[in-house]
Amino acid sequence: MLSQALDGNLIRFTSYRSERAGDGTVLTTTTVAPLPVGVAVFTFLLLGGLWALLVFGMYHGASWARALLAVFAVLGTFVVVGQLIGLAAQDEMNGGDLAHLVFFLATLVLTIAGWVLMYRDGAKPYLVKRR
């Protein structure tokens, strides 16, 4: 998703600029540009930091962090499955699409594995109320 944002395929900014010509007519220029790199990197780091805080919270016994991580895992699974369907619907696949396919499949497997590991019996001692 970050690569699509950086390529400008995911989010585009549209700006309009109107100028009045000497004869009284108005000329409007429309510019469509991809997401600025700084915004994409900042968002990626911010969301990655929030995810790390949730993992840290769950590690230290916060059951609310486990519930939030489970919700984000389900939502993330829907996003990845949507990306996989989008790749499968394409007519041709090139090398970049195959790399995305491998990345999305690995993401899907790791998300499901993390979700299963959060709810195994071995995780219960971390979530016991401490006195």
The predicted model gives 100-122 an average pLDDT of 87
- Residue 103 CA, chain-centre distance (Å), reads 13
> What mean pLDDT value characterizes the chain?
80
pLDDT value at residue 44? 87
The predicted model gives 7-32 an average pLDDT of 73
What is the per-residue pLDDT across 34-75, written as a single tens digit (0 to 9) for each? 777 788 789 889 999 998 998 888 888 888 888 898 898 899
- Residue 89 CA, chain-centre distance (Å), reads 21
Q: Supply 11's token pair.
A: 């989010």
pTM: 0.62
Q: CA 8, CA 52: separation in Å to the nearest integer?
A: 27
Long-range contacts of 57-65 (CB under 8 A, 24+ apart): 58/118, 58/126, 58/127, 59/126, 60/126, 61/126, 61/127, 61/128, 61/129, 61/130, 63/127
CB 54 within 8 A of CB 95: no
Which helix (H) or strand (E) segment is 16 a member of?
Answer: strand 12-20
CB 104 within 8 A of CB 87: yes
Q: What single string gives the DSSP state of each residue in 52-88?
A: HHHHHHHHTT-HHHHHHHHHHHHHHHHHHHHHHHHHH
User: For residue 1, what is the DSSP state?
Assistant: -
